[in-house]
Structure 1
């Protein structure tokens, strides 16, 4: 519910997509101005894996200024630009009918009826720090390169960003939503996947005054003890300039995914099967998917304030097993599952059902291998390309691999009539979002 509110705010306040919605209410305090965050930031198509919170603000990693000017040199709250906005609305939709989508050679059919309504009223305040203030600060205060957080950031080759604009609730926010739907989903693939059912749900949430709803962050570059604001993230300059530009995007992505997911391959087979079963159930049911993502996020970020309980029998065994592990194992595993679910949330509901089909047909490993081959073939050639520059991929479509073809086509690869495949920069970004899903699902489905 909170995520729906913040997504609505971000979309209405900034249709260009530069405003990032806060996904969890328990994390919101870590996205205030001057907070440091890490992550990949945006690709051309996806937010994909939002900026990750840290426990630090900018002043925590800076050395004291000369002549005891530390306090004076740091911008304070009353120097922030502040503006007030209000957004309100009510929506009610009734939909009946059947929709068919052909993604050769697969076919998707959606049928049934749905009733959906929502109502909201939000008073907001936008706060912003002029980036010129940050520039001036970078000339006065050097970075503490020996700070443990900075050292670990360098080892992990992660980029660093500082929050410089926020949108927060200036009064309590009320949001209510009700939904009723009946229908079916049919994927005509190598093996049919059919989902039917009826869903009725009514939810509401109250968000307190002062809660951060969305934010903007700007990248920081670091060379020795000097730091600067980097205005052009699309140039893919790494935070640690002195370390040189990382050669291939795939290497960076693979390292990130491996660091977050490797623990899944170390699980006993029975636990791996149990966790995979819960994720499969979540892939079939959007409400279950949202519940599992919310619980894993809350538990990973605030383990002392979150209980792993559920009313869903499809999730009880998994959460119970997670609770029985040691504190360190529990935290690491919750992080891996949350990372996987966040990656899956970047796919549409239909795409997630195709991934479920891939699990049932045991084609995830081949799909992961194909995407890795695409990345290694493209390599650095995507640098500087525009969205319309096509790249011919080392690929030959096989009609017997209908599910794989459909997954790739829905993730930016354009399969031609002669069986070859093309991909442009937008497609490449979509493949970046797909790869962590395939990697994690492959680890969980590997019984060896």
Structure 2
């Protein structure tokens, strides 16, 4: 059963915001983190098709400005009452009569319901408040330590400008019930008869405390030297930390974000010709497919044994959100020297590689030193490093790309992917999502997309794993005539899901 909290949040956002600027809170656990004036970090993306999630950095904008005085009060710009109740049932029966041989009959029914009633309010920082703040306050000098770390990681920084907040405690209830029955009769010397029936009921209740943030809106900080500006209109090309040519000098240290940039640059080169003939993926399904398949080709560098180790660790990490967060944070930390070894000091060539190493790897030039991590997150990193703790870019690139795609998905989707990975049941979901993305072009237009019946599996409904995967992307699905109502705002999550399925599928096939 999909997350009750995420389900009601997405329903509220759909009703109250058609611009796509409100960002749904991903889980109840962090529903109090995204307060007005709160600063958020977001990693640079190596893909044109989705963006990583916003992460709270436990700072308010007052923490990076001088003088350090309390922020002005926010204004309430709207009160809304939201009530959502759904009750449905689907049933069917079949009877087979064979003259002289017997009778077989069976029936099944599936029903479900959900209900939620809440009062929410919109809290916003007035645009005039931001203007006054930038005029009256200045960026701290020296720069706050957290900003220095975000700058070193290559992350962008945002500030929360508006939130959708619950006014009272809310209880969300979802139920799902399945029933089945069957009977048969076989004539003969002794008439053999039998019948059976059964049912399975599930009920999920979630209490959302008063003051919880259901969704938020952000503006991007832009820092040039000691100057601070705030951009309210999203621009994915804008960077928070703008450096002058004098500051933009090569550094001895390296970060995992530089590896991500390297991935991005390399994924945009999809031919073997000279520089002038390099191709750049278009921002459509063919571009996405080329980008993901180019990255998946990098998995061929893994040996069969190493693929098995990676899959086992990935399955554990997908079920453990804390471990996944530890791994995501680890790949954002600054590394040591960008060059390991050299003449007389190169790391031993990794025997785990099945493909011949590139000249860059042959010379011992890797991405930097990696500190060990505990648990399954550490097991994944161990597959990507040499004995001297140097990260191997040829191995790390596709895995970092996978982690980036996973960051765009929900906790419910992570668990389902882990189950599919364990059951080796990734092919049908991959083909289904691929067909959906291909048929829904152009992605900026809404429309109904028919799903191939052969890829739906034995059951198709709200409890089917692929159904939940797509529903978590913000898509509406139908049972009778299998269809998906494509929505432009679901593009990022659906593309990330496609990338995750493609890379996990290839890893499983290489084992």
Taking structure 1 as the reference length, what is the TM-score of the superposition?
A: 0.54
Q: CA deviation at 1:128?
A: 0.6
Who is 1:133 aligned against? 129
Which residue pairs with 1:437 in the alignment? 500
User: Deviation at 1:176?
Assistant: 0.5
1:213-362 equivalences in 2 (<5 Å):
213-234=214-235, 236-242=237-243, 251=264, 271-276=309-314, 292=319, 296=321, 300=325, 328-330=373-375, 332=377, 341-345=406-410
Counterpart pick for 1:177 among 174, 179, 185: 174
Backbone CA RMSD of aligned residues:
5.5
Q: How far did residue 180 of structure 1 move? A: 2.9
What's the offset of the Cα at 1:219?
1.2
> 1:84 is matched with which residue?
79
For residue 38 of structure 1, the aligned residue among 31, 41, 45 is 41
Q: In the alignment, is the contact (CA less than 8 A) between 1:22 and 1:28 conserved in 2?
A: yes
Secondary structure at the counterpart of residue 87 of structure 1: strand
CA contact (8 A) 2:162 2:218 kept: yes
Q: Secondary structure at the match of 2:128?
A: helix
Structure 1 residue 10 displacement after superposition:
1.6
Instruction: Summarize the alignment of residues 100-249 of structure 1 with structure 2, pairs less than 5 Å apart.
Output: 114-144=110-140, 146-181=143-178, 200-234=201-235, 236-242=237-243
Query: C-alpha distance in 2, partners of 1:172/1:327?
Result: 43
Alignment of structure 1 residues 400-411 onto 2, 5 Å:
none
Report how far residue 162 of structure 1 moved. Answer: 0.4
Provide the rounded CA distance (Å) in 2 between the counterparts of 1:13 and 1:160: 26
Change (3 A) 1:58 1:444: farther
Using the TM superposition, give the Cα deviation of residue 220 of structure 1 relative to its aligned residue in structure 2, in angstroms. 1.3
Query: CA offset at residue 59 of structure 1?
Result: 1.1
Is the contact made by 1:223 and 1:242 (CA closer than 8 Å) also made in structure 2?
yes
CA distance in structure 1 between the aligned counterparts of 2:491 and 2:29, rounded to whole angstroms: 33
Q: 1:49 to 1:182 in 2, by over 3 A?
A: farther
Between the aligned partners of 1:253 and 1:134, the Cα distance in structure 2 is: 40
Q: Deviations over 1:145-181 (max 9, x none)?
A: 6322112212222221100111111111011000135
- Structure with greater helix percent: 1
SS at match of 1:84: strand
Distance in structure 1 (CA, Å) of the matches to 2:90 and 2:266:
40
Match of 1:6 in 2: 9
Q: Partner residue of 1:58?
A: 61
For the residue of structure 2 that corresponds to 1:218, the secondary structure is strand
Query: Residues 38 and 159 of structure 2 are in contact (CA less than 8 Å); yes or no, is this contact kept in structure 1?
Result: yes
CA contact (8 A) 1:41 1:50 kept: no
Aligned 8 A contact 2:42 2:55 in 1 = yes
Give matches, 1:62-73, under 5 Å: 62=65, 64-65=66-67, 70-71=68-69
Alpha-carbon separation, structure 2, partners of 1:435 and 1:243: 38
Q: Distance in 1 between matches of 2:209 and 2:306?
A: 43
Instruction: Name the CA shift for 1:39/1:199 in 2 (closer, same or farther; >3 Å).
Output: farther
Q: Structure 2 vs 1, CA of residues 53 and 181 (structure 1 numbering), >3 Å: closer, same or farther?
A: farther
> How many aligned residue pairs are there?
319
Residues 159 and 357 of structure 1, relative CA distance in 2, 3 Å threshold? same
Residues 57-84 of structure 1 deviation map (CA, whole Å, 9 limit, x = unaligned)? 111122x23xxxx42xx5322x423532
Change in Cα spacing, 1:40 to 1:231, as seen in structure 2 (3 Å) is: farther
* Range with bigger deviation, 225-234 or 235-244: 235-244
Q: Which stretches in structure 1 are left out of the alignment for 5+ residues?
A: 98-111, 184-196, 283-291, 302-325, 365-384, 389-401, 403-409, 412-424
Contact 1:343–1:436 at 8 Å: present in 2 too? no
Q: 1:344 touches 1:352 (CA, 8 Å); kept in 2?
A: no
Structure 2 Cα separation of the partners of residues 177 and 240 of structure 1: 45
Partner Cα separation in structure 2 for residue 163 and residue 28 of structure 1: 13
- Structure 1 residue 113: Cα displacement: 5.7
TM-score if structure 2 supplies the norm length?
Answer: 0.48
Q: Which runs of 5+ in 2 are unaligned?
A: 93-107, 181-197, 249-257, 268-291, 327-370, 381-399, 430-441, 446-454, 456-469, 474-487
Contact 1:125 1:167 in 2 (8 A): yes
Alpha-carbon spacing, 1:51–1:439, altered in 2? closer, same or farther (3 Å): farther
CA distance change for structure 1 residues 296 and 92 in 2, over 3 Å: closer, same or farther?
same
> Out of 22, 26, 35, which is 2:29 matched to?
26
For 1:86, what is the secondary structure of its paired residue?
strand
Partner of 2:374: helix, strand, or coil?
A: helix
1:191 matched to which residue of 2?
Answer: none
Q: Distance in 2 between matches of 1:158 and 1:135?
A: 25
Task: Tell me, in whole angstroms, the C-alpha distance in 2 between the residues paired with 1:28 and 1:221.
Answer: 26
Cα distance in 2 between the residues matched to 1:160 and 1:362:
38
**Match for residue 481 of structure 2?**
none
Q: Is the 1:41–1:47 contact (alpha carbons within 8 Å) kept by the matching residues of 2?
A: no
